[in-house]
Amino acid sequence: MKGIRQAFEEQLDELQKHVVRMGGLAAEAVEASIQALVQRDVELSAKVMEIENQIDAFNLDIETRCLQLLALQQPMARDLRTIAAVFRIITDIERIGDYSVDIARQARVLAAIPLFKPLIDIPRMAETVSRMLHNSLEAFVRRDLDLALAAVQEDETVDHAYHSLHDELVEYIQRDPSLTLQAIRLLMIGVYLERMADHVTNIGERIFYMETGELKELHE
């Protein structure tokens, strides 16, 4: 049914497209930051910062659009929930961008020194996070609750991987304290990825709210 509020519908549609573009940039930043680490590529680290600047710009732009829609259109029901969800989702995407920069900074430092262990857990965690984020954005576009919930469930995988990484690095440190600084840097990267997964879970919860009107924690 063609709505009588066509201009509003177009603005809402545009808003959602911006969210997807912003999320896409965040996914790009995550992937680039891990590649910078794995390939020891300092230039790629710098690229992550550029992407993050674009994410920040989207954040401000989308927030402004949301406020204007609220003030000028007085949305109700599903439209209101969509805008309320977008407010929160962009915050989570923005944080994912920030963590990508944090990873890129560590990658820049680690590129200058030999690593004491091969990178296995970290790239795997990053792959899961990247997949969670892509699926969440897809779920947002399609309003697919099953896909959103599937993405949320993968958070547990990331949590387990982080704990494994933590235990492994602690063992390394206990065996050879001179590895402490590097181990801490690697652990921090694990923390950033674990936090990214949490933010993707938040996105899933907001998608759930958009569709059902119910606010609830979807993960433990």
Partner 1 sequence: MGCDCKIRTENLTVSYGSFQALKAVNLSLHSRRIIAFIGPSGCGKTTFLRALNRMNEIIEGASTRGRVFLDGKDIYAPEVDVVSLRRSVGMVFQRPNPFPMTIFENVAFGPRLHGLARGSDLAELVEQSLRRAALWEEVKDKLRQSAFSLSGGQQQRLCIARLLAVEPEVLLMDEPCSALDPISTLRIEELMRELKRNYTIIIVTHNMQQAARVSGETGFFLHGELVEFGPSSRVFTSPEDRRTEDYITGRFG
Which is closer to partner 1, CB of 48 or CB of 69? 69
Q: How far is the CB of 2 from partner 1 (least distance, A)?
A: 9
Which is closer to partner 1, CB of 78 or CB of 142? 78
Which is closer to partner 1, CB of 8 or CB of 87? 8
Which is closer to partner 1, CB of 32 or CB of 207? 207
Residue 219 contacts by C-beta under 8 Å, 6 or more apart in sequence? 152, 153, 155, 156, 201
> Which amino acid belongs to residue 183?
A
> Is 149 within 8 Å of 171 (Cβ atoms)?
no
Q: How far is the CB of 81 from partner 1 (least distance, A)?
A: 7
> Which amino acid belongs to residue 35?
Q
| Binding residues vs partner 1 (CB under 8 A) | 1, 3-5, 8, 74-81, 212-214
Q: Which structure tokens are listed for 40? A: 């020891």
Q: Which structure tokens are listed for 85? A: 């969800």
Q: How far is the CB of 189 from partner 1 (least distance, A)?
A: 40
The H or E element containing residue 29 is: helix 6-38
Q: How far is the CB of 211 from partner 1 (least distance, A)?
A: 10
> Is 144 within 8 Å of 193 (Cβ atoms)?
no
Which is closer to partner 1, CB of 9 or CB of 50? 9
Alpha helix (H) residue ranges in 74-179: 77-110, 121-142, 145-153, 155-175
Q: How far is the CB of 219 from partner 1 (least distance, A)?
A: 22
**Alpha-carbon gap, residue 163 to 155, rounded angstroms:** 13
DSSP class of residue 134? H
